[in-house]
Chain A
Amino acid sequence: MNIHEYQAKQILKSYGVAIQEGVVVNDNAMTESSVNQLKEDTGTDWVVVKAQIHAGGRGKGGGVKLAKNMEEAKQRVNDILGMQLVTPQTGPEGKKVNKVLIAQDVYYPGDSEPKEYYMSVLLDRALGKNVIIYTTEGGMDIEEVAETHPEKIWKEWINPATGLLPFQARKIAFNLGLTGVAMKGMVKFVNALYNAYVDTDSSMFEINPVLKTSDDKIIAVDAKVDLDDNALYRHKDHAALRDESEEDPTEVEAKKFNLNYVNLDGNVGCMVNGAGLAMATMDIIKLSGGEPANFLDVGGTASAETVEAGFRIILKDPNVKAILINIFGGIVRCDRVAQGVVDAYQNIGNIPVPIIVRLQGTNAVEAKKIIDESGLEVRSAILLQEAADAVSEVLS
């Protein structure tokens, strides 16, 4: 589960990770008091207005702006709040900005130059261990650094039995070229960060940039936090951080029916039991001349209720020209699923696009008979290839 920068920073702060402080607002009327509060708390002169959406590259799309006085701050908040922010990660339609973070300016001049670093904590799947990835090339896209300067990326694997060891934190600080107060600050930062990652059951932390300020403080200027959905049951307070307005509304609705749905750009909808078979079905739609309009896993029990909910969700997408239902009945009997499809079809009334139902497994032949004799505009198939051919035929 993704959360906003301001929420992520609050979590980090509660674990002792130093952050760029800020106040979140959803109304420009709050700007003046927020800026004043921030100045009082941090002594900052300038402020940075940062769009709060679940996507990276916000600066590139004009979602992060510096303001040097109150008038400018209000202007920036006015510009960014409510804008449709387009970044390399949002897609061309962009995302609406409902909240902005008014944050302290941390690039103030001082005894030394401010310096940006990159640090992330995530799971190394191959080893089954957490790894801290870091580089001196902060503020840049890490994939770009991996491409152009792979030698500048360091990794520190953490032994699950010991956790992060003191020498590892020191190694990270020294590898980043830090000395004195800044070095000690980085050791503290890394320790607090890793502790927060483990304790919150996170799947990923990405702090880009980590900043050494001109007075040698080490702070998180941005924070991307992805929490492990499977562990939310033991972090009830984190579950409340979910911002459904950041998610596709259809995906949110699907979740209510325990359907695993991802909206895509294509023209053929699909409804499948099992995630692997669902992806394979999307692939076969493409091979049949279509493009998948969605991923939809109805799970282990494909009942009339789930099929009907699936139909209604897929049909919300006006680009859908055909629907392929692909169920491999193992434990679930195909004749029951077939009856479910017929009932759902009749409940919805008129479904304006052709439907192809492929039912294989337990009682597949009986299922085909139910579909064929229903009198509905539904094509039936048993073999996967037959379903693929039917998709081609419907699209041509």
Chain B
Amino acid sequence: MSVLVNKDSKIIVQGFTGGEGTFHAGQMIEYGTQVVGGVTPGKGGQIHLDKPVFNTVAEAVSITGADVSIIFVPPAFAADAIMEAADAGIKVIVCITEGIPTKDMITVKAYLSDKDCRMVGPNCPGVMTAGEAKVGIMPGFIFKPGRIGIVSKSGTLTYEAVDQITKAGLGQSTAIGIGGDPIIGTSTKEAVELLMNDPETDGIIMIGEIGGSMEAEAARWIKENGTKPVVGFIAGETAPKGRRMGHAGAIVGGKDDTAAAKKAIMRDCGIHVVDSPAHIGIKMAEVLS
């Protein structure tokens, strides 16, 4: 089961023949992910990593039956790549690209509003269902199939949580890296909702950071609809106001988007919040026992 991607997902790679696309597509295939081909405009007809290359996403979909796309296209062309995937009928679009202008993402968000698809990212590590499909750039070997779902804005902090869950003797269903940009396709709340409705997931880890209001929105949803334990962490307790901490969206604007304010709301909504990022795994093990 799990969510978004699994062993039956047919995945294409946009930006397939570029450096990033080649390296990560190779890693995905090595993990056993069902990569059915890739798209690089102008290179259609070639074979790359033993898979067919197509000029357009529409052609790739009609020939391979792909339903998932992962995007490694450079920032100036990434918005177009997302919209091409949506237009071609791709159901799950995972955009890894970092550095897409916000104006382009406003256009993408509006374009996707009446399409039957879900975008994850951009500026994210991707989506991974342990033991089934790696649609992203995360290291596969730290995952172990299990029943804990993970939602996170950050890359390496997601790996930290995954690793702690594995070391705590548990395992992961699906890890969703939602991305750290101001405009992203799948919000914290939407990702949590997917995992809450997944019969193969018993507990959820929700990792956020300073900036924006997505964690508070997710927390309120969990309070009303939650049926599984949620362990939460917010990075950036020590971040100063008004300074951007790496991610384009990680900036404290007012008093509501500080780590302390988010954690307080999450605690009020029944989430098991840890102050130390070293306690994510043991907290989940403790809550489940």
A-chain residues with CB within 8 Å of residue B182 when the two chains form the complex: 123, 125
Most buried by B among A233, A295, A330, A361: A330
Which residue on chain A has the smallest CB distance to residue B107? A160
Nearest-neighbor residue (CB-CB) of A283 within chain B: B237
Contact between B156 and A274, CB atoms less than 8 A apart:
yes
A contact residues around B248 at 8 Å (CB): 229-230
Q: Verify if B19 is at the interface (C-beta below 8 Å from A).
A: no
A307 part of interface (Cβ distance < 8 Å): no
Q: Chain B residue with minimal CB distance to A281?
A: B277
The reply to whether the CB of B102 lies closer than 8 angstroms to some CB of chain A is yes
Q: Choose one: B76, B109, B153, B159; the contact of A361 (CB below 8 Å).
A: B159
In whole angstroms, how far apart are the Cα atoms of A161 and B210 in the complex?
30
Q: A280 to B157, Cβ gap below 8 A?
A: yes
Assuming the contacts A275-B246, A328-B160, A330-B139, asked whether A233 and B76 have C-beta atoms less than 8 A apart, the reply is yes
> Is B106 touching A388 in the complex (CB atoms < 8 A)?
no
Q: State whether the Cβ of B49 lies closer than 8 Å to any Cβ in chain A.
A: no
A285 contacts the other chain (Cβ, under 8 Å)? yes
Contact B209 A276 (CB under 8 A): yes
Flag whether A29 is at the interface (Cβ < 8 A): no
Which A residues are CB-close (under 8 A) to B64? none
**Are A160 and B250 in contact (CB-based, < 8 A)?**
no
Tell me whether A362 and B102 are in contact in the complex, defined as CB-CB below 8 angstroms, given that A160-B110, A279-B250, A295-B245 are known contacts: no
One of A160, A292, A385 near B238 (C-beta < 8 A) = A292
Q: Does A273 contact B (CB under 8 A)?
A: yes
**B152 close to chain A: CB less than 8 A:** yes
Select one of B106, B139, B157, B167 contacting A160, CB under 8 A: B106
Q: Whole-angstrom distance between the alpha carbons of A273 and B254 in the complex?
A: 27
- Whether B163 is near chain A, meaning CB under 8 Å from some CB there, is yes
B-chain residues with CB within 8 Å of residue A161 when the two chains form the complex: 110
Per-residue A-contact encoding for B230-267, CB less than 8 Å = 1, 0 else: 00010111111011111111100010000100000000
B276 contacts the other chain (CB 8 A): yes
Q: Does A331 lie at the interface of the complex (its beta carbon under 8 Å from any beta carbon of B)?
A: yes
Rounded to whole angstroms, the CA-CA distance of A198 and B102 in the bound complex is 10
Q: Which of A20-28, A104-112, A126-134 contacts B (4 or more CB under 8 A)?
A: A126-134
- A330 and B160: CB pair below 8 A? no
Chain B interface size, as a band, is 35 or more
Decide if A128 touches B109 in the complex (CB within 8 Å). yes
The reply to whether A384 and B106 contact each other, CB–CB distance below 8 Å, is no
On whether the beta carbons of B101 and A228 are closer than 8 Å, the reply is: yes
B148 to chain A, nearest CB (A): 18
Is A140 an interface position by the 8 A CB rule?
no
B250's closest neighbor in chain A, by CB? A275
User: Considering the chains assembled together, what is the distance between the CA atoms of A53 and B212 in angstroms?
Assistant: 27
Q: In the complex, what's the smallest C-beta–C-beta distance from A124 to chain B, in angstroms?
A: 10
The CA of A152 and the CA of B183, in the complex, are separated in Å by 28
CB contact list, A283-297 vs B, under 8 A: 283-287, 291-292, 295, 297
Asked whether A181 is an interface residue with its Cβ less than 8 Å from the other chain, the reply is no
A128 to B100: give the CA distance in the assembly, Å.
14
Q: How far is the CB of B243 from chain A (nearest CB, A)?
A: 5
**B207 — which chain A residues lie within 8 A by C-beta?**
276
Q: Which residues of B contact A329 (CB under 8 A)?
A: 139
Shortest beta-carbon distance from A128 to chain B in Å: 4
- Other A-B pairs, 11, CB within 8 Å; known A260-B246, A264-B240: A231-B101, A233-B76, A272-B156, A275-B245, A276-B247, A279-B239, A283-B277, A328-B159, A331-B137, A360-B160, A384-B160
Top 4 A-B pairs, shortest CB-CB distance: A276-B154, A275-B246, A274-B156, A330-B139
**17 A/B residue pairs, CB under 8 Å, sorted by A:** A89-B242, A125-B213, A128-B110, A228-B101, A228-B103, A230-B102, A231-B102, A260-B246, A272-B156, A279-B238, A280-B233, A292-B238, A330-B137, A330-B139, A383-B278, A384-B277, A388-B278
